[in-house]
Amino acid sequence: MSDKLMSYEKATERFDPVLGLEVHVELGTKTKMFDAAPNAFGGEPNTYITPVSLGLPGCLPVVNKRAVEYAIRIGLALNCQIAEYCRFARKNYFYPDLTKAFQTSQYDEPICYDGWLDVELEDGTVYRVEIERAHMEEDAGKNTHIGGEDGRIQGADHSLVDYNRAGVPLVEIVTKPITGTGDRAPEVAAAYVRTLRDIFRAIGVSEARMERGNVRADVNVSLRDNPEDPMGTRTETKNVNSFRGIEKTVRYEMRRQAAILAEGGKIVQETRHYHAADGTTSSGREKSDAEDYRYFPEPDLVPVAPSREWVEEIRKSLPELPAVRRKRLQGVWGFTDIEMRDIVNAGAVDLIEETVSAGTDAGGARKWWMGEIARLAKGEEKDLEEMAITPAQVAELQHLVEDGKINDKLAKQVIAGVLAGEGNPGEVVKARGLEVVSDTGALETAVKQAIADNPDVVAKIKGGKMAAIGALMGPIMKATRGQADAGTVKSLIMKELGL
């Protein structure tokens, strides 16, 4: 049964939203958090495992020093305090994604705490999101439920578990309550996670590919009547792994909760599932409190006490952070503030920089990423980086345009061919026969025919209305299947009319 929803406009007029985001990032270490099993993506199920990651008796974990370093890098980039002493804890629960029936995490003594991150929205508005903590933990295995509805465990005939991911190092970043966002709550949530994603990549701790689950967000939403009121009961939508999904989750939960509260109902504190197909959420289970997990210090691991000298070494090794880099690139590329903000919000900074590195100019790179490719991505509800075209291919496309082999109209067909898997731009041009018509004789024939068929237009042009040339361009382009160069055609028209 579908949920009753209030319109988003009414929900934001009637209630004040409070958000909380828990972002999990898989660290790009060579091995897992507590053992020597490979930390890799895409292997055959249950091949990247050891007795430790399977939780077999008699096996002791050892902390991955590189993972600790990466956690500190994240904390420093998020303006956090770095703990002089922290320790791991066992988070006990019963589910088949970890065979030992507990997750090794951190509880009351995280490695990073009390940070903040400034998040810029599309119009330049900046929200400061305060960070409660960033702690280390291990990832769980991946369950695949066979049968049932939507791949969920409810109604499944049986379940399969792949433990390749079990034990992969994670850092979980938990915000303090995010207030004061009003009707921009969905936008703030998505922008926050996008900013985090950019930081993870910039400081080299993760590939942060959301489509692979490298970055996942648990989205907490609650409503209250007024900003001065106590916070309402929250729901937590688990494992949302796209910016659009985060935005839709917040919007849907606000509408759903508003409808319940407006009728005098109560919000159930629960975990929920996000459905990408229609942008809705559905009930999972009642939300557990911390005491339900029976946390206690991990007896098999010693505490972690990073020295101040080591922390300072890590701080000095941090590269240019995204906000600083964008300012620099804007100066190099010569884009306006609005153009650069659009590029940032579209997630195109890296794509454009890589396209420029592949040998084209920034203007040409921006034209395609922010134009035709962005249009197609929006239609498919994908992020730009999910589109099946690479910066090198976009650079090749721009070179074909600059060399006069194709025009902008034909380039759009080439992009479609690349996205369809037909090869690189040059290969698509050849396979589809898309090269610009350079045969002057063929163009002259098309021009003469258009002039003969449109005497009224010719009279206007000769009378000084040069804009009327556009009326002749249409039939000429149609005759050449859009493969004529517009500048060449215009010159031939002028020549034929003696102008």
Within a domain: residue 91? yes
Residue 323: what pLDDT?
87
User: What's the pLDDT score for residue 152?
Assistant: 63
- In the three-class reduction of DSSP (H, G, I as helix; E, B as strand; rest coil), residue 120 is classed as strand
Half-sphere exposure of 234 (CA within 13 A, CB side): 19
Among 289, 313, 337, identify where a domain stops. 313
Examine residue 14 and state whether it is found in any structural domain, yes or no: yes
Question: Residue 87 has what pLDDT?
Answer: 96
**CATH, residue 464:** 1.10.10.410
Q: What is the DSSP string of 259-275?
A: HHHHTT-----EEEEEE
Which residues lie below 8 Å from residue 380, measured CB to CB, with a gap of 6+?
387
Is 1 among the domain residues?
no
Three-state SS for 221?
strand
> What tokens were used for 342?
């659009």
346 and 300 share a domain? no
Indicate whether 107 and 70 sit together in one domain: yes
On the 0-12 / 13-18 / 19+ scale of CB atoms within 10 A, 433 is: exposed
- What whole-number percentage of the chain has pLDDT above 70? 92
pLDDT tens digits, one per residue of 379-415: 998 889 889 999 999 999 999 988 888 888 889 999 9
Q: Sorting pLDDT into bands at 50, 70 and 90, what band is 305?
A: very high
Last residue of a domain, one of 398, 415, 432: 432
Which pLDDT score, from 0 to 100, does residue 410 have? 86
Strands 235-240 and 270-275: parallel
How far is 208 from 188, CA to CA, in rounded Å?
19
Q: How far apart are the first and last CA of the chain?
A: 71
Tell which wins on pLDDT, 471 or 127.
127
Q: Report which residue type is found at 29.
A: T
Residue 278 lies in a domain: yes
Closest by alpha carbon to 75, among 108, 109, 107, 114? 114
Query: In which domain, by residue range, is 422 found?
Result: 324-432
146-168 burial, b for 16+ CB within 10 Å, e for fewer?
A: eeeeeeeeeebeeeebbbbbbbb
Q: What is the pTM of this model?
A: 0.76
Tell me, yes or no, whether 134 lies in a domain: yes
For residue 128, the surrounding DSSP H or E stretch is: strand 126-138
Residue 353: pLDDT band (50, 70, 90) is: very high
Do 253 and 158 lie in a common domain?
Answer: yes
Does residue 381 sit within a domain?
A: yes
Q: What is the pLDDT of residue 347?
A: 84
Residues 126 and 253 both lie in one domain = yes
> When comparing pLDDT for 461 and 171, which is higher?
171
Q: Which helix (H) or strand (E) holds 145?
A: strand 142-146
Does one domain contain both 190 and 47?
yes
pLDDT, average across residues 239-257: 96
Indicate whether 206 and 332 sit together in one domain: no
- Residue 318 maps to a domain: no
Please indicate, yes or no, whether residues 166 and 44 belong to a single structural domain of this protein: yes
**Which of 432, 458, 487 marks a domain boundary?**
432
Q: What is the spatial distance between Cα 446 and Cα 79, in angstroms, rounded to a whole number?
A: 65
Comparing 373 with 402, the larger pLDDT belongs to 373
Do residues 173 and 28 share a domain? Answer: yes
In the predicted structure, residue 78 carries a pLDDT above the cut 70: yes
Mean pLDDT, rounded, for 307-314:
98
Contact 50, 36 (CB under 8 A): yes
- Specify if 2 maps to a domain: no
Task: Read off the tokens for 481.
Answer: 């299947």
298 shares a domain with 334 = no
| 243 or 473: which leads in pLDDT | 243
pLDDT, the chain, mean: 90
Task: Count the domains in the chain.
Answer: 3
Please tell me whether residues 306 and 356 are part of one structural domain: no
- Please report the pLDDT score of residue 404 as a whole number: 81
pLDDT in tens, 188-241: 999 999 999 999 999 999 999 888 889 999 999 999 999 999 999 999 999 999
pLDDT at 346 over 80: yes
Q: Judge if 126 and 185 occupy the same domain.
A: yes
Whether residues 255 and 199 share a domain: the answer is yes
Instruction: Kindly give the pairing relationship between strand 16-26 and strand 169-175.
Output: antiparallel
